[in-house]
Structure 1
Amino acid sequence: MPSPTGRRAFLAGACGVLIAPHAHATSAPSTPPDVTSTPPRSWSGKAPTGYLPDPDVIALDPSFRDLTFPGTTIQRVLSGGGWLEGPTWLGEARILLLSDTIRSTQYRLVPPEGAGEGSLSVFRQESFHSNGNTLDTEGRIITCEHDMRRVIRWEHDGSCRVIADAFNGKPLNSPNDVIVNPQDGSIWFTDPPYGDTLIEGHPDAPGNGANPTGKLHWTLGTEVPIQFAGHERQPVHIFRVDSTTGVIEAILSPEDVPTPNGLCFSPDQKTFYATGSTPVSANEKTQSQHVIYAFDMVENRPKNRRIFCTMTLDGHNLSPDGIRADVFGNLWCGASGPFGLAGVFCYNPAGKLIGRIRLPLGCSNLTFGGPKRNELYMCCGPQIFRLLLETQGAGLS
């Protein structure tokens, strides 16, 4: 789900190109090509690449080949969005639910059966700059909304219920990613300030957070009630909402997970994962590292924090975003960074990077879908890519 780092890395990628492995180092083009492999591939939908296996599905360990299908290629199934997030597979309808955080709309995507792009239609015309989506244990859609600073759930009768919009008497920041623990039905979500901006949500009140100088017209062009406009901001927590009582608990503090973003459980719900960064004290000269944290689940609470992996490749520390686990416990993570390195990283349960999917854009979020839940859908800014796998997604979305 969105991070300023991911967007800035995406924009910065337009300023310089890293030559992909095995590419011929010729004079740098004035405009980066929309390809990563050599020879250049086409994203027209007719012939993504002339080679099998796909040269942009890269095994860094032999075990990764057991998870991929060599007879298929990366396919672009959607283009022309704003900034796409929160992909969630609705199995009964066989559609992909998407949030466009910039256009403040939710879409339904009917994936293509073959080559070409899928069929897109509006699911919710005004989504209040929604971001993360998931399903609960009863199949109800749960959504994070930046603009209203809340988490909502759509009931079976079509009504909307607010799950969380405040904590300790203060409004939330901009709920970002959301998941459900299948064991107890509890709802977990991150609440970073990434959506406290004019383009993706509702600016803070003058003198606060994303609007320190008060130059932004924070009430102009929106009907959002003034109480959601961010007079006071929360510390950045990961929250848990009890499925029975509705009680909101700050389950992890900013010290536990600095700058939290994506989150997920292992297939057996014994491990909880969250993307974030390492803390840096005021007297340190080094910058924080982007990492994925792991916690043991003890009586449905995260304990024993440790760094699961550092998001580093070829000397670059990439920015992790959405994460999902497959049925074997491998962790698939969207990452933003330099051209040729960004895409999707796959780690085994021990935290070893075993493979990656090289994409022309940084990947903010991803999910497993399809009738067999073995299709990996990857959100990359205005586009969505799909890859058929020999593994299946775990969890509810």
Structure 2
Amino acid sequence: MAKATRRRIMQRRTVLQGLACVPTGLAVSSLAQAADHAAAPPQPETARPADVTTTPPRQWGPGAPPGYTPDPDVIVIDRSFRDLLFGAATLHRVWDQGTWLEGPAWSAEGRYLLLSDTVTSRQYRYLWETGEVTVFRPESYHSNGNTFDYQGRQISCEHFLRRVIRWEHDGSVRVLADRYEGHALNSPNDVIAHPDGSIWFTDPGYGDGFTEGHADEPGGEANPDGHIRWRIGEELIGELGGVKRQADHTFRIDPSGRIECVLTQEQLPNPNGLCFSPDHSRLYVISSGKQPGGYGHEGDQAVHVYDVHKDNTLSNPRLFTNMHFQGVQMGPDGMKADIFGNLWCGASGPLGLCGVFVFNPEGQLIGRIRLPHGVSNLTFGGPKRNWLFMCAGESLYRLQVNTQGAGAA
């Protein structure tokens, strides 16, 4: 018998033996389906974006197996970044019940991490001793950025009421800023404290919409045609903040309460995250992308730096980094400096690229932290300020590092 004939008989016998183990109806059905599949044209596969950044797939959250060390998602680009890392540390997702988390700030007195959910209008706190995340304020007026001043008082930016407030030690609330030159603010976004008692914040228009605040009245930049029912939600709180978007500004609130503009819209459109260098001689500000009612004054999605003088004026504007990486324009949001002057910047972008970008004081990219979601904002916390906390979408991540955060929070 020819070899080819024997091979066909053996293949047929193998198929029949396999069918003998299957109920008759199922076998016939399977054969029919196979025939139909063979006759039908091949269907294109549905694109499925990856949900991990490492191979083998990484598991996140409680109960996940221990990560590898050194962590494959903590990427050393320059040797100097290795000195900022604790080699035995791995990335952890510590909570994933938010919607869009922002404004992480460490309370040294309370030993907790404060964070905002800008969409659900709540503030949460991560308790250091237990790792538990609890509701801190069930109504935060769509707060975004938070910080603690050098007296330990909480300062928050409220999108819905379009103002910056401070919680005093006796539990009362003081409005630090809600107007400038007779005009209501837009939606204060990020805020930082200075040792001289001043408060610096950015005021773009990201809260000029019903997702994270309330829209403008008809005719405003974020509601030019009046189609948005801008007063819906007013009954939940009893009052609205400003009702029409103004120009973008970066502001300073003097300890006396006087509000002054340090950067105009023309000097830096769409200001977002900001932070000082450790010695407060530099101010870093992010110019973000287009937002509701932008009408052409779109930012360049880059980090800019300015010299800060004793009279609080800024000079020598220059580009710190354009946030281009591997041919992609990343979207920076919030940032913090460490005690050595390195800048840790959260960014959105394609999976595998998004996460945290770390630059040395000269603007050189020295390291990255990959996460499965873009990072809106971050801060250093823990009793020694050597834990990096990162807000990424609905989740909070942490990583122990070998440096400390600069500044009060």
Specify the TM-score bucket, using the shorter chain as the normaliser: 0.7 to 0.9
- What SS does the aligned partner of 1:261 have? strand
Paired residues for 1:299-314 under 5 Å: 299=310, 300-314=312-326
Between 79-88 and 48-57, the greater mean CA deviation after superposition? 48-57
Counterpart position of 1:319: 331
Higher helix share: 2
Paired residues for 1:209-228 under 5 Å: 209-223=221-235, 224=237, 228=241
Counterpart position of 2:278: 267
1:250 aligns with 2:250: no
Counterpart position of 1:32: 49
Counterpart position of 2:355: 343
* Superposed CA offset, 1:259-285 (max 9, x none): 110000000111110011599xxxxxx
- What SS does the aligned partner of 1:45 have? coil
What letter is aligned with 1:141?
Q
1:162 aligns with 2:175: yes
Paired residues for 1:358-373 under 5 Å: 358-373=370-385
Kept in 2, the 8 Å contact 1:319–1:336? The answer is yes
What letter is aligned with 1:78?
W
Aligned-pair CA distance for 1:207: 2.1
The match for 2:150 among 108, 128, 137 is 137
Counterpart position of 1:4: none
Counterpart position of 1:99: 116
The match for 2:309 among 289, 294, 298 is 298
1:191 aligns with 2:166: no
Aligned-pair CA distance for 1:109: 1.2
Between 320-329 and 214-223, the greater mean CA deviation after superposition? 214-223
Kept in 1, the 8 Å contact 2:149–2:408? The answer is yes
1:86 aligns with 2:103: yes
Aligned-pair CA distance for 1:372: 0.8
- What SS does the aligned partner of 1:102 have? coil
> What RMSD over aligned residues (CA atoms) do the two structures have, in Å?
1.9
Between 252-261 and 372-381, the greater mean CA deviation after superposition? 252-261
Aligned residue pairs, count? 357
CA distance in 2, matches of 1:44, 1:147: 32
CA distance in 1, matches of 2:331, 2:75: 19
Paired residues for 1:17-96 under 5 Å: 30-47=47-64, 50-96=67-113
Counterpart position of 1:174: 187
Counterpart position of 2:402: 390
What letter is aligned with 2:221?
G
Counterpart position of 1:7: none
Aligned-pair CA distance for 1:93: 1.9
Kept in 2, the 8 Å contact 1:334–1:362? The answer is yes
- What SS does the aligned partner of 2:403 have? coil
Counterpart position of 2:21: none
* Superposed CA offset, 1:118-170 (max 9, x none): 31211111110000000111110000000000000001111000000011111
What letter is aligned with 1:134?
T
Kept in 1, the 8 Å contact 2:269–2:299? The answer is no
Aligned-pair CA distance for 1:45: 2.8
CA distance in 2, matches of 1:233, 1:198: 14
So what's the TM-score if we normalise by structure 1?
Answer: 0.86
* Superposed CA offset, 1:354-396 (max 9, x none): 0010010000000000111010000001001101100000001
Aligned-pair CA distance for 1:289: 3.5
Kept in 1, the 8 Å contact 2:186–2:242? The answer is no
* Larger relative contact order (Cα-Cα within 8 Å, sequence gap ≥ 6): 1
For structure 2, which runs of at least 5 residues remain unmatched after alignment? 1-43, 291-297
Counterpart position of 1:352: 364
What letter is aligned with 2:313?
R
Kept in 2, the 8 Å contact 1:105–1:130? The answer is yes
Aligned-pair CA distance for 1:199: 1.1
CA distance in 1, matches of 2:287, 2:370: 22
Aligned-pair CA distance for 1:48: 5.4
Kept in 2, the 8 Å contact 1:321–1:335? The answer is yes
Query: CA, structure 1 residues 105+95, in 2 after alignment: closer, same or farther (shift >3 Å)?
Result: same
CA distance in 2, matches of 1:92, 1:135: 10
- Tell which structure's C-alpha radius of gyration is larger: 2
Kept in 1, the 8 Å contact 2:106–2:382? The answer is yes
Aligned-pair CA distance for 1:111: 4.3
For structure 1, which runs of at least 5 residues remain unmatched after alignment? 1-26, 280-286
Kept in 1, the 8 Å contact 2:61–2:95? The answer is no
Aligned-pair CA distance for 1:28: 8.0
Aligned-pair CA distance for 1:82: 1.1
Kept in 1, the 8 Å contact 2:76–2:367? The answer is yes
CA distance in 2, matches of 1:331, 1:344: 10
